[in-house]
Amino acid sequence: MARRASSGVNTQALLVGAIVLIIVLGGGYWFINQKPSGFDAPVLDAVSFRTNGRSLAGNKNQVTGVLIAREIRASSQIVTLEVEQDGNPVHVPIIIPDGFTAGNLNQKDTYTFLIEFNTDGVPVALDVTQL
């Protein structure tokens, strides 16, 4: 006796398709919301920076705070971030070198800077993102 062809919905194929779709959508969401790889640097300990910044020469760190001051000079800019650490505000000056193309920086906005300390122990911006 011949077997009849099944005309029902293949639930196993539907389940596998749904799982693959969830994985693809989750991976896309993770990829879009991932920070730039340079921001994997350790967070700056603002208190140790204020007490002995010269010892940090050559280190890369990230620092997040509110931009409270901006001074434009002929060859660079200097911005000051107010960083909250241990419940106390700490002011961190950052040199923005000439040719830094990160857009317009506005006071009272929150930014995360990727910084590298020069030989004098002063932070120099490598990259920035607005939060």
Q: pLDDT tens digits for 78-99?
A: 899 999 888 888 889 998 888 7
pTM, two decimal places = 0.65
3-state secondary structure of 131: coil
Q: Output the CATH code of domain 38-130.
A: 2.40.50.140
Percentage of the chain surpassing pLDDT 90?
11
- Burial class of residue 56, CB neighbours in 10 A (0-12, 13-18, 19+): buried
Domain ranges of the chain: 38-130
Greater confidence (67 vs 105) lies with 67
Percent of the chain at pLDDT above 70?
87
Return the closest-CA partner of residue 113 out of 89, 90, 88, 96: 96
Report CA dihedral (67, 68, 69, 75) to the nearest 10 degrees.
Answer: -10
What pLDDT is recorded for position 24? 92
